[in-house]
Structure 1
Amino acid sequence: MTVALIDDDSAVLHSMRLLIESRDIPVACYESAEAFLEELPDNRPSCVVADVRMPGMTGLELQRELKYRNLEAPLILISGHADVSMAVQALKNGAFDFFEKPYDGERFANSVTDAVQKARRQSTEQSERTDIAERLKALSPRQREVLEFVAAGMSNKQIAAKLSISPRTVETYRAWVMERIGAQNVADLVRKVSALLPAEPPK
């Protein structure tokens, strides 16, 4: 997963590149936010590092643009002329970190590494959600009903009474659902599907 470095100062870009590549993380360098955005549809980075003050689009404007485009890559902002209010604004708007030049190279590299790891976790979680959503679509209406009741914390007896079927039948449905979702146990099942189900179970 590539880190995008954006700064109009080529010396700073080179310095940042050396720091990040020392962590075995691939890097793409851009001298403006506009140049980065031109390549964005094809190259979605795992982390974006941008100077706040650049000719054309600034780092803070880039932050707003990335939000508009729903790019969830962690954003680290740097500035040679930062003030407290600017840093607070950036962090409130969702920046992963904020550095004032000159910054500590080790701390900067650590922050980028943490941001990349966060992006990898998000990517893995998103892939899992997509996979689970597809598995949910394959359930029969009755299996889906049983799943929603299980996720709501109802026992087999309660679900059986609700659906006018036997507890043994509920147990069978639950076993089928767990197999199709790929869950190890009920707790794992609920963890996997809770974000994809309605807040309230069927009436």
Structure 2
Amino acid sequence: MNDIDRPLDAPPCLAIVDDDEALRESLAWLLDSVGLATRAYADGEAFLAADPEAHDAVLLDVRMPGLSGLQVQQQLNERGDSVPVIFMTGHGDVPMAVAALKAGAFDFIEKPFNHQQLIDCVQQALAEHQRERRARSRLEALQARYATLRPKEQRILVHVAEGMTSREIADHLGVSAKTVEVYRLRAMKALGAANLAELVRICVALGLVEVLPTGHRQH
């Protein structure tokens, strides 16, 4: 489960997952001072049981009773939660932090924290997460528009993305070149493509072709 259903204008909210109550309160105060909402959790189990759509980033302690930070990260990955994870590490935890980065963590910061470094890291994670959410939202909108096209229009789009000319597509499908043009223009309008190059880029984004073929032709 992921956060793609959350409103894009929702205020950023960070999860703070650490068994040290004083540290949780200190981090909540610091982040609140720069206009960020927080939700604090004393252990990984409580965090994983919370609404996965409630958080835009996670400050996660590496060493905690019960589930370790790495185990929490593993469970997030297994359930497809794309929220960026920033690990909080103590002295000697760098090898664990490196393992976390290899598993997809956004970054790690060492205790005791440099407040500005922590805020900068959080802001970068939030900005990246917002970009990813918007990209997923745009892709879902394109997929919905593509689904409204007729099957023949969908096939024509694939051939366009493969670099075929209207004449080649017409010959391949057994229709007139004029019909191909009508269908292509209708598909461009439905997908919001202003020109043929943009249509091809949309087809690539939709996964209709894996990559742009070399030497593809446009007309």
Same fold (TM over 0.5): yes
Aligned mates of 1:112, 1:83 — CA distance in 2: 20
Is 1:116 aligned to 2:126, yes or no? Answer: yes
Higher mean Cα deviation, 137-146 or 80-89?
80-89
Q: Look up the equivalent residue of 1:115 and give its one-letter code.
A: A
Aligned-pair CA distance for 1:103: 2.3
Provide the residue aligned with 1:136 in structure 2: 146
CA contact (8 A) 2:61 2:89 kept: yes
Match of 2:16 in 1: 5
Q: Give the TM-score of the pair, scaled to structure 1.
A: 0.89
Please provide the CA RMSD for this pair. 1.8
> Which has the larger helix fraction?
1
Structure 1: runs of 5 or more not aligned = none
2:89·2:97 contact (CA, 8 Å) conserved in 1? no
2:72 to 62, 78, 85: 62
Contact 1:148/1:197 (<8 A) preserved: no
Paired position in structure 2 for 1:19: 30
Q: CA deviation at 1:139?
A: 0.9
1:49 is matched with which residue: 59, 75, 78?
59
Corresponding residue of 1:101: 111
The secondary structure found in structure 2 opposite 1:82 is coil
SS in 2 for 1:99: strand
Distance in 2 between residues matched to 1:58 and 1:175, nearest whole Å: 55
Q: Gaps spanning 5+ residues in structure 2: where?
A: 1-11, 211-219
User: Distance in 2 between the 1:192 and 1:32 partners?
Assistant: 43
Identity %: 39
CA contact (8 A) 2:13 2:55 kept: yes
